Structure 1
Amino acid sequence: MTGDRSLVYIAIFAAIIGALGVVPGLTLPLGGGVPITLQSLGIMLAGVVLGPVRGAAAVLLFLVLVAVGIPLLPGGRGGPGVFLGPSAGFLIGFPIAAFACGVVMRLLRHSAVFPASLAAAIIGGIGVLYSFGIPGLAVFADLSMQKAAFLSLVYLPGDLIKAFGVAVIAEAISRGRPDALMSRL
């Protein structure tokens, strides 16, 4: 794939992640102040579709836009201050999670798309993301790791639904245009 096309795909996925932030987040009293958003679906999808490097690059581009103040996070949040709040660990984990999703897809490139992308989304988009999000929540919400992990359980059902959605989307993409799943090339 040419560099120009890669840049276009990276920009498109950064825009998709940003657009998913327009959907209002839902902050639950049990979640420690971290909103439930659709953006993690975009993070998973970026890695599953674009692969590890391009997926992480799309997420990094999105985070740069957020850091400079563009209000792309739910509730119209943006600016450097978002990296010092309860969701900071999740934000920092976004590009690593997308990278991990892409790596898993690449490792499972000879498997059927649906189970491979579901595994990628669960391992990278939930497992890896929570490994950053939970410690961030503990630090910025002044909670013990156990309490932060317990509070994060409220997000698990929704994230599993998002992972399933990513697998459905990836399967649809592979049927319509298999070469669009760059993570499997």
Structure 2
Amino acid sequence: MPRSSSRDLALVAVFAGIVAALGAVPAFTPPGFSVPITAQSLGVMLAGSVIGARRGASALLLFLALVAAGLPLLSGGRGGLGVFAGSSVGFLVGFPVAAFVIGWLTTRLGAPYTLVGGLVANLVGGLVLLYVFGAAGLALVLQISPAAAATALWIYLPGDLVKVVVAAFVARGVHAAYPGLLEGRTRERQDAPVA
């Protein structure tokens, strides 16, 4: 599928909107924890899985720029520069990086999109990497050890594992319907030398 800058911009805007829309799902902050459980990390996984590394990261950068500008797009209607000084800053900074890594892994795992490949990409980028960023931010803001910060994230694990599976299933359905949507996957197949 030929590359189109207007198509890329539209996809970036749509997925920034999806992440924002997932902010409307009520957040839950467990007692004794400072980072809310939200649905927005599902949007991060979907962005990387469906539109790839470059566009997925761009969608999350756009989303964060809108949040920084003061739009109340984070769960609970939060927005503005102040959210980047809170305990969830590591997750926010990790959003575009996670989307990029998920998209990069998804492309490298080859076409067609498989459920197993999607699960691996979402686990690595959307869970492990995002937790590394989240724990680093938590340790920095709360001035606790990285080990204590990482341990504090256990409560988020069951919900995030569900998001990993949901994102992989949704992405598989989207790629089955639009096989040329993800940059590099079909092009690599067409450009491969014939034996």
| TM-score, normalised relative to structure 2 | 0.90
Of 27, 30, 53, the residue aligned with 1:28 is 30
Secondary structure of the residue aligned to 1:10 is helix
RMSD (Å) for aligned C-alpha atoms = 1.3
Q: Which runs of 5+ in 2 are unaligned?
A: 187-195
Residue 192 (structure 2) aligns with:
none
User: Aligned residue for 1:12?
Assistant: 14
Match of residue 156 from structure 2: 155
Given residue 106 of structure 1, which amino acid in structure 2 is its aligned partner? T
Instruction: Please state how far the C-alpha of 1:29 moved relative to its aligned partner.
Output: 2.1
- Confirm or deny: 8 A CA contact 2:50 2:175 kept in the other structure: no
| Secondary structure, aligned partner of 1:155 | helix
Indicate the percent of aligned positions where both proteins have the same amino acid. Answer: 48
Distance (whole Å) between structure 2 residues aligned to residue 105 and residue 75 of structure 1:
31
Stretch deviating more after TM superposition (108-117 or 137-146) = 108-117
Distance 1:102 1:37 in 2: 21
Structure of greater Rg: 2
| Corresponding residue number in structure 2 for 1:56 | 57
- The superposition leaves residues 133-184 of structure 1 with CA deviations (integer Å, 9 ceiling, x where unpaired) of 1010111123221211111011111111000001110111122222234463
Aligned to 2:69: 68
Q: Distance in 2 between matches of 1:83 and 1:183?
A: 34
SS at match of 2:46: helix
- Residue pair 2:48, 2:56 contacting (<8 A) in 1 also: yes
| Counterpart amino acid of residue 145 in structure 2 | S
Distance 2:184 2:165 in 1: 18
Give 2:82's aligned residue: 81
Distance (Å, rounded) in 2 between the aligned partners of 1:177 and 1:36: 31
- Stretches of structure 1 that go unaligned for 5 or more consecutive residues are none
Report if aligned partners of 2:106, 2:113 keep a CA contact under 8 Å in 1: no
The aligned runs of 1:97-108 (5 Å cut-off) are 97-108=98-109
Q: In the aligned structure 1, how far is the partner of 2:156 from the partner of 2:57? A: 22
Give the whole-Å Cα distance in 2 for the aligned partners of 1:177 and 1:106.
15
Question: Which residue type is aligned with residue 57 of structure 2?
Answer: A
CA contact (8 A) 2:102 2:126 kept: yes
**8 Å Cα contact 1:47/1:56 also seen in 2:** yes
Query: Which portions of structure 1, spanning 4 or more consecutive aligned residues, are displaced by more than 4 angstroms?
Result: none
> Structure 1 residues 183, 17: CA separation in 2 closer, same or farther (over 3 Å shift)?
farther
* Other structure's SS at 1:116 match: helix
